[in-house]
């Protein structure tokens, strides 16, 4: 399209240039007629000689007299003398392309018309040659650009081919991570793929550890229950209570491992609506502990969505509220603070609290520091594991209300695991 437009505009520029030159020459010829003030035949002869020098054609009409540089142009161009407009006219004559400028003027007491023409065919031939040369150069340049573009694209896609080969090696078990010297545009992709692989490895390792822990924890109580049921001794109340205790322990272990298995962790593409999910949990625990007052406050919460899986958020907040509800005398206060790259959940209660020496032991798996309330010491352990999955931690200290302060800090920055 550019090449075709180049030819079109080039031809029009040439016509405009030649037309302007013919107009100036017509003005010059008319001015000569006005200055000589001689007889018409002599003037015609003077103009004729001038145009023989310029190698142009002309037809001059003054009154009833008509003269031409060649008799054939007098016959061929005479129809153009009838128009009363000064203009540039294109004429086709015997395969030749002529540009003719028509100029009206007054001479003595007569009206005249001067037609000045030039053969445009030679100019067109030169323009065509130039146009094809431009096309050839442009075509050669286009081929060079295509080749360079293909080389650039081929070089740019080389990291993707390497990434595909590494993906095949990854599927074959020959490697565990991607290591590609990729352009800056692909660095984020490679980092996310590596982060995804690390997350899969972490989940697989966690699943294996959970299965091993569950198997180890259930093997002994199941063997004891089986031995009792297979024995011939009658089952009295004391043995029945022991069996029930072991079965309850098995059920608790199963429930705890199921809760751990539901931990999704980051990089799941899920978000939690803090302002919607937290009031719902508060209302639920108000129903579970109707004699106690739960209060929730928000600090610096300028957005509602945070990149934490909703079940994980509900699990952590639920453990904190349930622990406070069990031990508080009357009042539980929950504060949620949302910073730029961090979420802080703090729950205070007015219960008996924990002695200073026992605070570091909170969160240990199966560790119960008080037997007055039912439980198996698994809630705070699960809370600690959940916080670690989000590159966070759980802290326990004395509360200003007199009881325990449980504080969970979670990292919201991209890439936390």
pLDDT reported for residue 374? 45
Query: In whole angstroms, what is the distance from residue 350 CA to residue 250 CA?
Result: 33
pLDDT at 91 over 70: yes
> Which of 155-164, 358-367, 388-397 comes out lowest in average pLDDT?
358-367
Q: Predicted confidence band at 197 (pLDDT cuts at 50, 70, 90)?
A: confident
Q: Percent of the chain at pLDDT above 90?
A: 10
Q: What is the pLDDT of residue 183?
A: 62
Which range in 67-81, 140-154, 275-289 is most confidently predicted, on average pLDDT? 140-154
Residue 375 phi, psi dihedral angles, 5° rounding: 155, 175
Say how far apart CA 399 and CA 325 lie, in whole Å: 15
- Which range of 25-34, 175-184, 211-220 scores highest in mean pLDDT? It is 25-34
Q: Which of 100-114, 123-137, 159-173, 240-254 has the highest mean pLDDT?
A: 123-137
Contacts of 283 (CB under 8 A, 6+ apart): none
**Which residues have C-beta within 8 Å of that of residue 120, sequence separation ≥ 6?**
14, 15, 18, 90, 97, 98, 99
Q: Are strands 293-299 and 331-338 parallel, antiparallel or unpaired?
A: parallel
Q: What pLDDT, on a 0 to 100 scale, did the predictor assign at position 181?
A: 64
> What is the rounded distance in angstroms from the CA atom of residue 337 to the CA atom of residue 343?
6
Listed residue (344, 337, 318) closest to 411, CA to CA: 344
- Segment among 17-26, 51-60, 232-241, 319-328 with least mean pLDDT: 51-60
Going by pLDDT thresholds of 50, 70 and 90, the confidence category of residue 377 is low
Residue 417 has pLDDT above 60, yes or no: no
**pLDDT in the model for residue 371:** 43
pLDDT of 333 above 90: yes
State what percent of residues in the chain have pLDDT above 70. 80
Distance CA 22, CA 245 (A): 117
Query: Cα-flanking dihedrals φ and ψ of residue 91, to 5°?
Result: -130, 135
Least confident range from 38-47, 228-237, 288-297, 331-340: namely 38-47
- DSSP annotation string for 47-73: HHHHHHHHT-EEEEEETTEEEESSHHH
Mean pLDDT, rounded, for 154-173: 80
Q: Residue 25 pLDDT > 80, yes or no? A: yes
Lowest mean pLDDT among 109-113, 180-184, 238-242: 180-184
Residue 388 has pLDDT above 90, yes or no: no
Mean of per-residue pLDDT scores for the chain? 78
Mean pLDDT of 56-81: 79
């Amino acid at each position: 399209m550019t090449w075709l437009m180049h030819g079109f505009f080039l031809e029009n520029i040439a016509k405009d240039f030649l037309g302007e030159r013919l107009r100036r020459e017509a003005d010059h010829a008319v001015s000569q007629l006005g200055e000589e003030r001689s007889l018409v035949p002599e003037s015609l002869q003077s103009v004729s000689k001038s145009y023989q020098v310029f190698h142009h054609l002309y037809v001059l009409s003054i009154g009833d007299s008509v003269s031409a540089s060649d008799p054939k142009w007098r016959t061929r161009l005479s129809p153009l003398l009838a128009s009363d407009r000064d203009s540039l006219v294109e004429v086709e004559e015997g395969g030749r392309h002529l540009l003719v400028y028509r100029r009206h003027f007054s001479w003595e007491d007569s009206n005249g018309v001067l037609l000045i023409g030039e053969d445009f065919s030679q100019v067109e031939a030169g323009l065509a040659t130039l146009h094809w040369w431009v096309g050839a150069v442009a075509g050669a340049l286009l081929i060079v650009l295509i080749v360079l573009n293909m080389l650039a694209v081929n070089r740019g896609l080389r990291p993707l081919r390497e990434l595909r080969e590494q993906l095949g090696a990854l599927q074959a078990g020959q490697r565990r991570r991607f290591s590609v010297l990729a352009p800056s545009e692909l660095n984020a992709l490679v980092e996310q793929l590596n982060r995804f692989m690390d997350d899969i490895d972490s989940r697989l390792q966690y699943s294996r550890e959970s299965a091993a822990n569950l198997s180890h924890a259930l093997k002994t109580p199941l063997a004891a229950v089986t031995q009792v049921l297979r024995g011939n001794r009658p089952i009295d109340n004391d043995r029945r209570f022991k069996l029930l205790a072991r079965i309850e322990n098995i059920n608790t272990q199963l429930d705890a491992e199921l809760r751990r298995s539901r931990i999704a962790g980051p990089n799941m593409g899920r978000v939690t609506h803090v302002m919607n999910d937290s009031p719902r949990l508060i209302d639920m625990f108000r129903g579970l502990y109707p004699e106690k007052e739960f209060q929730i406050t928000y600090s610096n919460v300028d957005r509602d969505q945070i990149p934490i899986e909703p079940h994980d958020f509900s699990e952590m907040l639920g453990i904190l509220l349930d622990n406070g509800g069990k031990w508080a005398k009357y009042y539980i206060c929950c504060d949620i603070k949302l910073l730029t790259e961090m979420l802080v959940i703090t729950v205070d209660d007015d219960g008996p609290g924990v002695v200073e020496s026992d605070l570091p032991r909170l969160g240990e798996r199966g560790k119960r520091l008080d037997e007055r309330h039912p439980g198996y010491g698994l809630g705070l352990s699960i809370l600690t594991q959940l916080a670690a999955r989000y590159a966070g931690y759980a802290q326990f200290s004395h509360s200003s209300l007199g009881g325990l302060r449980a504080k969970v800090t979670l990292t919201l920055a991209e890439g936390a695991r």
